[in-house]
Structure 1
Amino acid sequence: MAGGLSFKLSRAVLSTIKPPIPHAYKWSTRYTPSVSRPLLDMSQGVPGTPPPKVLLDALALSASNPKTTGYCPALGEPALRSAIAEEMRQVYSSGRTMCAKGTDVDADITSEDVAITAGCNLAFVASVLCLADAGDEVILPVPWYFNHHMSLNLLGIKTVPLHTRSDEGFSPSPERCESLITPKTKAIALVTPNNPTGAIYPPSLIAAFAALANKHKIALILDETYRDFVDSSQGPPHTLFSPDSSQTAPMWSWRNTLVHLFSFSKSYRIPGQRLGLIAASPTLLQHITTTLDCLQICAPRPAQLALATPGLLPALRRESIAENAAALRARHTLFRGALPEGWVVGSQGGYFAFVRHPFGGVSAMEVCQRLAEEMGVVVLPVQFFCEDGAWDNGQGEMGRWVRFSVANVDDEKVLRVCERLRECGEKFGWACDEA
């Protein structure tokens, strides 16, 4: 087949990195699996189990209804927007947070604040299209979620890296962030629990970033795709949706600053259904309607109507989501305890653990390639989560960090992966150190 083109491709697409996960899977094709040593994949943040039967039944019923085959409103099915607004009020009011006046408050979220999108990546792109022009800037903590950086690059928007440190648990610094803000800065984008590091940002840190964005009159994009996989007994993920949040700013109104993103893929285990959401000011959502109409028209309708089945979301939250979250937390504990000596967890949470390998002078890129090709273990190096494949946060760690996903494996596979990590140093001829 001829591979030449008679036309030129855009500079933006040519300068954007290729999706990293297929790159890692290409390494794994060089491994020959066997019954006793199968390929073990801890690279991708995908659910490892199917959704519960009650949701599968709702999806089947909705998909077979001819009334669901037409377009729906650009911002989503009204019934699902109402149901998810109610769910968000429960999530962000859990434990009843105390406002400045010492009274109990509920999260202030209505259906008019919610838009349903065809996945969370589209939610990010649609939001950024409304916030920034080509040549403007968006601040991302490094290591970053590669799809956010790729999207900005394709749009001609400059990614400004906010470097994080392992000795700070890979949490971004509001003070260092403020030094990066310029007249071209349009937004700060955070992911918590983080992808790739798994770092869970505490409410006080999220509030500090909200106050910073509010002070400089820029947007705070807060991607909470992995929100449901942390311990909710400690209270809500943050208090930004409270009408009186003294930690954030005087006379705080979240709609002036916050653009919240969420994915149904992880919590509800339906990545193929492509559903995400934006919670933001209705004023911003009016403009997001324009971007969504040009990108996707509307999110898939059958899945929206299935999730809007009366009582389904609360039932899934009480049972399926809570059970899955507990299993993931237990697997994080198992993984940390089973890692061989020298492999150090820098942070973990949500779907991911960020681990420093023990081989001095060897980049994570080389370690991950050889793990896939020779040991049958597929994981991702830090170089996939930073610009130009080079990362140095000033701590002399030489880009030795590796992302492991604990979501798409069971406990037995976690133990097998750790056993192969124990074998790899001797097999590769690399000495361990304690740097």
Structure 2
Amino acid sequence: MSRTSHSFAPPVMEARRWLDGVQFTADRPLLNLSQAAPVDAPPEGLRAAIAEAAMHQTDAHLYGAVLGRDDLRAEVAAQWSAAYGGQIGAQNVAITSGCNQAFCAALATLCDEGDEVILPTPWYFNHKMWLDMTGVRSVPLPAEAGLLPDPERAATLITPRTRAIVLVTPNNPGGVEYPSNLVRAFFDLARKHGIALIIDETYRDFDARTGAPHDLFTDPDWDDTLIQLYSFSKAYRLTGHRVGAIVTSPARLEAAEKFLDCVAICPNQLGQIGALWGMRNLGQWLAGERAEILDRRAAIQQGMPRLADRGWDLKGVGAYFAYIAHPFAPGSDVLAPKLVQDAGVLLLPGTMFTPKGDTSGARHFRVAFANVDRAGIGTLFDRLAALGGPGWPLAPKAASA
């Protein structure tokens, strides 16, 4: 049996197949809320910087350092030190071919076959896929009220084979921002048990809070426990260039270098040059992008009462995502393809973010609103509010409400 046979098909690719053969009209075009990736090109200045490097910078076309360009590593370290109020050096930073690769590299330094990693559910499906394909057991930690994981419940799941706890904040798929004291509680729990705390902060640039989202980097020995992951894709629209980062101890990066050298040798040079230019020049532009995402978040919250009257429930919202419970009897995995046909809406069902047998997944959808503005969100609510009739029977609880 192959390693890949232990995992499921990529969910976003599966969802795209639901579009096959479906005709959309000019008065009801497809609303695609399935993927959290900006579809617009990077700002012109960033594109010009990449073009300039492509034409005139020879090393932009050559193999580079496995752990990334020195200038970008140093810039991340400097900006992170200022943002989090901690001491982070370039030796603590590695650049990777996207944040998914950063996660895979981190796990390669931590786990052997048969080890365990605690994942709060609903989880990010690519994390689960990678653990499956490497023979590492994913231990579900069901979210509590507000889609927040409970450190005390996590403590009961730790065994001698546990190697890490993974947090995603702002969360994918739930959108929620984990409070600083909750993140600190997980850090203390991980340190107590001698395991790693992996925090995926892909969406940190769109956090609604001001200031540092947690204080872990202020701990002088933070790198004995913390592994932070980051993506430049969302901040600077560099999805096709594949640029991410790991922030952790130099010793762990030395181990990660073995993995990275075998899968990509080095991260994309032009992407790194673009990311560095973005970090140095696009602070004000990124603030505008954040303000737009926060306005879309507000539009979700303001529009939900219309759906709440019909039995829908907003469980979490933030960054690029909302996680909503539906009122219908069939599960979300059955309803998601019907949404394409009946409403012209593409959403991912909660079953793609939960373990098999977890009934909560069937009650939820993830709404990824990175590419749908306030008007589009209003259209989404119009279409969802109109659902009903054959194939859309209300669940008993919703029908009696």
Q: Structure 1 residues 31 and 200, CA, compared in 2 at 3 Å: closer, same or farther?
A: same
State the AA in 2 paired with 1:293.
D
% same residue: 39
Alignment check: 8 A CA contact 2:208 2:318 kept: no
Quick check: 2:349–2:361 contact (8 Å CA) kept in 1? no
Distance 1:131 1:398, change over 3 A: closer
Counterpart of 2:113 (choices 134, 139, 146) is 134
CA distance in 2, matches of 1:144, 1:307: 27
Q: Please give the secondary structure, in 2, of the residue aligned with 1:334.
A: helix
User: Who is 1:391 aligned against?
Assistant: 358
1:63 aligns with 2:54: yes
- Aligned equivalents of 1:29 and 1:374: distance in 2? 14
Which consecutive residues of structure 2, in runs of 5 or more, have no partner in the other structure?
none
Of 237, 244, 248 in structure 2, the residue corresponding to residue 276 of structure 1 is 244
Residue matched to 1:313: 279
Cα offset for 1:420? Answer: 0.8
Question: 2:72 corresponds to which letter in structure 1?
Answer: L
| Counterpart in the other structure of 1:380 | 348
Q: Look up the equivalent residue of 1:203 and give its one-letter code.
A: S
Give the number of aligned pairs: 393
TM-score normalised by structure 1 residue count? 0.87
Higher fraction of helix: 2
Deviation per residue, 1:46-82 (Å, 9 max, x gap): 1143322111111111222333111111110001111
Residue 87 (structure 1) aligned with residue 63 (structure 2)? no
What do the CA deviations read for 1:228-249 (whole angstroms, capped 9, x no partner)? Answer: 101242x211000013xxxxxx
CA distance in 2, matches of 1:344, 1:47: 26
In 2 relative to 1, CA 398–193 (structure 1 residues): closer, same or farther, beyond 3 Å? Answer: closer
Tell me the SS of whatever aligns to 1:32.
coil
Q: Aligned match of 1:405 in 364, 368, 371?
A: 368
Quote how far apart the aligned CAs of 1:427 are.
Answer: 6.0
Deviates more, 1:376-385 or 1:27-36: 27-36
Indicate conservation of the 8 Å contact 1:31/1:375, yes or no. Answer: no
Q: Does 1:421 align with 2:384?
A: yes
- 2:178 matches 1:201: yes
Could you say what the CA RMSD is over the residues aligned between the two structures, in angstroms? 1.6
- Structure 1: runs of 5+ lacking an equivalent: 1-8, 93-105, 244-251
CA distance in 2, matches of 1:257, 1:418: 43
Q: How does 1:27-426 map to 2 (within 5 A)?
A: 27-65=18-56, 66-92=58-84, 106-165=85-144, 168-233=145-210, 235-243=211-219, 253-309=221-277, 312-317=278-283, 319-339=284-304, 340=307, 341=309, 342-359=311-328, 361-388=329-356, 390-392=357-359, 399-426=362-389
Q: 1:426 to 1:240 in 2, by over 3 A?
A: same
- Cα distance in 2 for partners of 1:67, 1:13 equals 35
The letter of the residue matching 1:26 is R
Per the alignment, do residues 431 and 305 of structure 1 end up closer, same or farther by CA in structure 2, a change over 3 Å counting?
closer
What is the rounded CA distance, in whole Å, between the counterparts of 1:274 and 1:117 in structure 2? 8
Rounded Cα–Cα distance in structure 1 between residues aligned with 2:135 and 2:361: 29
For residues 402-424 of structure 1, give each alpha carbon's deviation from its aligned partner in whole angstroms, at most 9, with x where no partner exists.
Answer: 10011021222211111110111
